């Protein structure tokens, strides 16, 4: 029988933010992703900042732990748009990821190259973006992906069936109470109506203790020590099989700053966890292979890992977001027919889910999180710049040999 | 002359009107002392003497007290206002009055005091009190206009306007609409109020070749047969823009080859962005932000149709500017400028069906569009600032101390 284990999964991503791109530039210059006069949306500046605060120190720490803890394993999903920016501005960071993967104990998880919500708009584009990501991972890391995560862990039964048919061994999503009911996220499940694939669900309580609460001085448990968290983790898993800690990679150093002790905390926690002889670590695919499904789970409605609602409302909740996505995906056929690689790439960069996220007008407690992550003055500015970019793409389609119509 | 802004430091039409009016009045031989609440360079104003009541920069003025922002006025009694508090409109107004008091001691007693809008009415009354010179109050907008459809406005500002209108020896209103408000809402005798329409100074607009480059995407739409509709305006409730969006949306449902350019900025912007998304027309609505110079000029140039959708517009100079740039005009019946033009289409600001019909009509009939454009050109240029100046001089002369009205 397999040991109970920790499934650590970190998501690595940076979008190509649209700069302050105006009506006056639409149809004239096409450099939406370049640094504009508004430094907030400067991709290179932001990328380099996060490299310093998060990617370099965290990759160094992961390497150190892999070297010192023979059982340690971790899974990463790295978006294609992150990889593009790393290639351009921080090749050493890319190399450090390669070093991690080369240990054989770091699994790369499949996803859409452009970190998009294409699954909800266009099956064909969704599949192409998954293919593009698979190719990119193969090229850079020399590995084949066997587990799948959709953008924002957005998941439903239809997605599970698709991933099953494509031969993925595992898929992950949020362990949301409304879906789980009496069930625990600490087991491996079988998505309803699938043959082979297994479903792993995020233990959001334990994950969010690190990702959202660790650095919060107003939290009743602050400051949280690694010892105490290890006790919680051991208790939380209990007789279960897997403790699924899923979070953004940038939790470490960017969302939660170094001065909170987050790096030390992580290192100590991993060491403490490993001390318990009943414990081990699994990658996502390994966990799916190590345990039988304890039950089947049906999720007809889409669940995500965001906000109190755990739905897509942070991305597609208001009419601006819906309009922006509608106009973008309406261009799909014309853009692809153009065979203009720059145009296609720019259009695909606009499919990244961060764009509609910046347009969110949810001003509840969740809205604060949105504001923190937005480089724009307001969701309305985000919308205007984005729509100008979409129109410019349409303008370029017009100019291309396979001419469309405005 | 007591004013609140002049180009290039204006946030709207008041400054433009004051500039051209004072220039034309000076050309009629008058000597003008023009008082402003801020300090700045004003090129092209050598025809008069500009006095700055404070050392505030005009940027401060835009930030803290846009010339039109009356809703934050909280204190009527100037005795209770701290004259050193230049963060509030009332503080600046008190300082402005004190400045006028001092100025009147060093310049010759004026033949007339010409005060523009509520902003300077109290200073005008004080000047009249000190000099016994006649007070002419020039009404470009009342608080009822500024309030739009959202109630009747700030009661303190109403009170100041009421006092100013009562104390004035003569009132100039920029349209019959405005005169009617003064008579009916403030109870002023109609024979005390004279209508003086604004004008357009075509020569000051310069001669520019339109190069079709500023709004390249909109030009591309035009080439595709789209009709470009525009409004050059502050984005505020007074301007009836939610109704414009609704009318435009209805028009688009009949004829989708239309785009709407909203050139300007204002506190209603976000609401309008959201509304256009709710109506499903956000792809056809273009927000430029505040425009000047070429971007401003070309907002007219790129347009086929100009809409003035105001709920309450005392005059509406932009309609004349638009006519000058060869556009067909659709104006609300609540816009004063509509009184001066015939070759236009009119609608009530709330009648979005009618607006939609007119938009579709112009978009689908090249003949209608062309005749509106051509015919209005014969009309707008008849309104000249020298006529305005002569009317003002006439009023000054009649009001002179000792003269009989």
In terms of domains, do B250 and B356 share one?
yes
Among the residue ranges A152-161, B117-126, B196-205, B225-234, the one predicted with the least confidence is B196-205
Instruction: Return the minimum-mean-pLDDT range out of A392-406, B54-68, B178-192.
Output: B54-68
Closest CA to A248 of A279, A219, A214: A214
pLDDT more than 70, % of chain A: 95
Residue A333: alpha-carbon gap to chain centroid: 27
Least confident of A240-254, A352-366, B149-163, B181-195: A352-366
Region B224-251: mean pLDDT is 96
Q: B175 and B274: one domain?
A: no
- Report the alpha-carbon distance of residue B282 to residue B279 in Å, rounded: 8
Count the helix, strand and coil residues of chain B and give each as a percent rounded to the nearest 5. 50, 15, 35
Residues B376 and B391 in one domain: no
- Alpha-helix residue ranges (DSSP H) falling in B207-262: 216-223, 241-254
Residue B2 lies in a domain: no
Identity of the residue in A23, A383, A384 whose CB atom sits nearest the CB atom of B215: A23
Residue of A nearest to B216 (CA): A27
- A384 and B273 in contact by Cβ < 8 A? yes
Residue found under tokens 């938009």: B359
Residues of A in contact with B226 (CB under 8 A): 406
pLDDT value for A34: 86
Q: Above 60 in pLDDT, residue A16?
A: yes
Q: Per the domain annotation, does B6 fall within a domain?
A: no
Give the pLDDT mean for B317-333.
95
- Per-residue pLDDT, averaged over B90-119, amounts to 95
Same-domain check for residues B252 and B367: yes
A contact set with B (CB within 8 A)? 22-24, 26-28, 318-320, 322-324, 327, 361, 378, 380, 383-384, 387, 390-392, 395, 398, 405-406
Whole-number pLDDT of residue B103: 97
Domain ranges, residue B128: 13-199+384-399
pLDDT at B402: 60
Residue B282: which of A22, A24, A387 has the nearest Cβ? A387
Q: Is the ipTM of this complex over 0.90?
A: no
End-to-end CA distance of chain A: 62
Please state whether beta strands A106-108 and B285-289 pair in parallel, antiparallel, or not at all (unpaired). Answer: unpaired
Q: Does the residue B289 lie in any domain?
A: yes
Q: Which residues of B touch chain A, with CB atoms under 8 Å apart?
A: 213-221, 224, 226, 269-270, 273-274, 277-278, 280, 282-283, 286-289, 295
Q: pLDDT band for B146, please (50, 70, 90 cuts).
A: confident
How many whole angstroms separate alpha carbon B182 and alpha carbon A28? Answer: 49
Whichever domain contains B84, its CATH number is 3.40.50.2000
Q: Are residues B259 and B123 in the same domain?
A: no
Tens of pLDDT, residues A32-58: 998 755 555 589 999 999 999 999 999
Residues B306 and B282: beta-carbon distance below 8 Å: no
- The model's pLDDT over A309-338, given as tens digits with 9 standing for 90+, comes to 999 999 999 999 999 999 999 999 999 999
B336 within 8 A of B174, measured Cβ to Cβ: yes
Q: Are residues B195 and B243 in the same domain?
A: no
For the entire predicted model, the pTM comes to: 0.88
CB contacts of B289 in chain A (<8 Å) are 22
Residues B250 and B164 in one domain: no
Say which residue the tokens 């939609």 belong to. Answer: B356
* The one catalytic residue among A152, A174, A250, A286: A152
Domain membership of residue B285 (yes or no) is: yes
Of B160, B157, B166, B159, which is closest to residue B193 (Cα–Cα)? B166
Beta bridge partners of residue B116, listed in sequence order = B138
Our answer to whether residue A174 is catalytic in this structure is no
Asked if residue B156 belongs to a domain, the reply is yes
pLDDT at B119: 94
- Domain assignment present for residue B153? The answer is yes
Pair B159, B226 in one domain: no
Task: Give pLDDT tens digits for A199-250.
Answer: 999 999 999 999 999 999 999 999 999 999 999 999 999 999 999 999 999 9
Residues B148 and B249 placed together within one structural domain of the fold: no
> What pLDDT, on the 0 to 100 scale, is given for residue B405?
47
pLDDT > 90? residue A398: no
- pLDDT at A375 exceeding the cut of 60: yes
Chain B residues touching residue A22 (CB < 8 angstroms): 288-289
Angle of helix A262-275 relative to helix A226-237, nearest 10 degrees? 50
* Structural contact between residues B172 and B264, judged by C-beta atoms closer than 8 angstroms: no
Whether B53 is in a domain gets the answer: yes
Q: What is the DSSP string of A220-257?
A: TTPSPPHHHHHHHHHHHHTT-SEEEEEEEGGGBTTTB-
Let me know whether B246 and B366 are in one domain: yes
Q: pLDDT tens digit string along B41-58? A: 999 999 999 999 999 888
Chain A contact probe: residue of B212, B215, B217 with most A CBs at under 10 A? B217
Please tell me whether residues B107 and B46 are part of one structural domain.
yes
**Inside any domain, residue B405:** no
Number of domains within chain B: 2
- Note whether B41 and B190 are same-domain residues: yes
List of chain A residues whose C-beta atoms are within 8 Å of the C-beta of residue B270: 378, 380
């Amino acid at each position: 029988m397999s040991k109970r284990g920790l499934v650590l999964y970190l998501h690595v991503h940076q979008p190509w933010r649209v700069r302050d791109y105006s009506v006056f530039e639409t149809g004239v210059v096409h450099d939406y992703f370049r640094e504009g006069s508004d430094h907030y949306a400067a991709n290179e500046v932001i990328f380099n900042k996060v490299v310093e605060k998060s990617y370099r120190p965290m990759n160094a720490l992961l390497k150190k732990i892999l070297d010192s803890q023979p059982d340690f394993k971790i899974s990463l999903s790295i978006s294609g748009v992150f990889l593009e920016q790393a290639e351009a501005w921080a090749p050493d960071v890319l190399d450090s990821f390669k070093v991690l993967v080369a240990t054989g104990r770091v699994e790369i998880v499949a996803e859409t190259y452009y970190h998009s919500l294409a699954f909800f708009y266009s099956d064909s584009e969704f599949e192409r973006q998954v293919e593009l990501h698979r190719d990119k991972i193969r090229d850079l890391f020399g590995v084949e992906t066997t587990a799948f995560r959709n953008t924002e862990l957005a998941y439903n039964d239809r997605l599970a069936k698709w991933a099953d048919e494509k031969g993925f061994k595992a898929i992950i999503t949020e362990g949301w109470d409304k879906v789980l009911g009496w069930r625990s996220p600490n087991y491996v499940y079988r998505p309803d109506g699938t043959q082979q694939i297994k479903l792993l669900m995020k233990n959001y309580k334990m994950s969010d203790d690190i990702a959202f609460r660790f650095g919060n001085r107003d939290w009743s448990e602050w400051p949280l020590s690694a010892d105490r968290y290890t006790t919680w983790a051991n208790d939380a898993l209990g007789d279960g099989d897997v403790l699924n800690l899923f979070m953004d990679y940038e939790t470490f150093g960017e969302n939660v700053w170094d001065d909170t002790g987050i790096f030390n905390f992580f290192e100590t926690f991993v060491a403490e966890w490993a001390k318990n002889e009943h414990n081990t670590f699994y990658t996502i695919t390994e966990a799916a292979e190590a345990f039988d499904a304890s039950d089947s789970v049906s999720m007809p409605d889409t669940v995500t890992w965001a906000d109190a609602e755990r739905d897509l409302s942070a991305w597609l909740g208001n009419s601006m977001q819906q309009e922006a996505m509608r106009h973008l995906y309406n261009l799909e056929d014309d853009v692809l027919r153009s065979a203009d690689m720059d145009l296609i790439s720019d259009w695909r960069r606009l499919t990244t889910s961060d764009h509609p996220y910046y347009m969110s007008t949810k001003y509840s407690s969740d809205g604060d999180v949105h504001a923190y992550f937005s480089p724009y003055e307001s969701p309305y500015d985000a919308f205007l710049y984005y729509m100008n970019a979409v129109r410019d793409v349409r303008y370029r389609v017009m100019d291309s040999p396979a001419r469309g119509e405005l | 002359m007591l004013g609140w802004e002049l180009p290039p430091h204006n946030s709207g039409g008041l400054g433009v009107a004051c500039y051209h009016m004072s220039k034309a009045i000076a050309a009629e031989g008058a000597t003008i002392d023009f008082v402003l609440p801020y300090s700045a360079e004003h090129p092209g104003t050598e025809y008069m003497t500009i006095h700055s009541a404070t050392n505030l920069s005009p940027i401060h003025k835009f930030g803290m007290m846009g010339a039109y922002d009356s809703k934050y006025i909280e204190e009527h009694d100037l005795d209770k206002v701290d004259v050193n508090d230049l963060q509030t409109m009332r503080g600046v107004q008190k300082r402005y009055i004190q400045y006028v008091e001092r100025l009147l001691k060093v310049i010759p007693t004026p033949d007339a005091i010409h005060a523009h809008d509520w902003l300077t009415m109290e200073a005008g009354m004080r000047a009249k009190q000190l000099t016994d010179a006649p007070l002419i109050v020039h009404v470009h907008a009342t608080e009822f206009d500024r309030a739009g459809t959202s109630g009747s406005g700030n009661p303190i500002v109403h009170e100041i306007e009421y006092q100013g209108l009562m104390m004035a020896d003569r009132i100039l209103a920029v349209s019959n609409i405005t005169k009617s408000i003064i008579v009916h809402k403030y109870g002023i005798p109609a024979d005390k109020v004279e209508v003086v329409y604004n004008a357009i100074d075509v020569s000051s607009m310069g001669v520019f070749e339109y190069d079709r480059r500023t709004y390249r995407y909109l030009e591309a739409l035009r080439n595709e047969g789209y009709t470009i509709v525009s409004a050059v305006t502050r984005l505020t409730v007074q301007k009836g823009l939610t109704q414009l969006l609704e009318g435009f949306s209805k028009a688009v449902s009949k004829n989708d080859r239309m785009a709407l350019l909203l050139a300007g900025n204002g506190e209603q912007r976000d609401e309008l962005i959201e509304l256009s998304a709710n109506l499903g027309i956000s792809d056809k609505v273009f927000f430029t932000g505040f425009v000047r110079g070429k971007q401003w000029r070309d907002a007219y140039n790129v347009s086929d149709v100009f809409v003035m959708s105001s709920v309450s517009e005392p005059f509406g100079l932009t309609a004349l500017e638009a006519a000058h740039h060869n556009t067909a005009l659709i104006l609300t019946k609540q816009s004063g400028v509509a009184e001066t033009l015939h070759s236009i289409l009119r609608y009530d600001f709330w009648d979005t069906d009618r607006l939609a019909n007119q938009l579709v009509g112009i978009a689908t009939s090249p003949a209608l569009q062309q005749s509106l454009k051509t015919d209005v050109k014969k009309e707008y240029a008849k309104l000249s600032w020298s006529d305005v100046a002569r009317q003002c001089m006439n009023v000054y002369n009649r009001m002179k101390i000792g003269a009989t009205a």
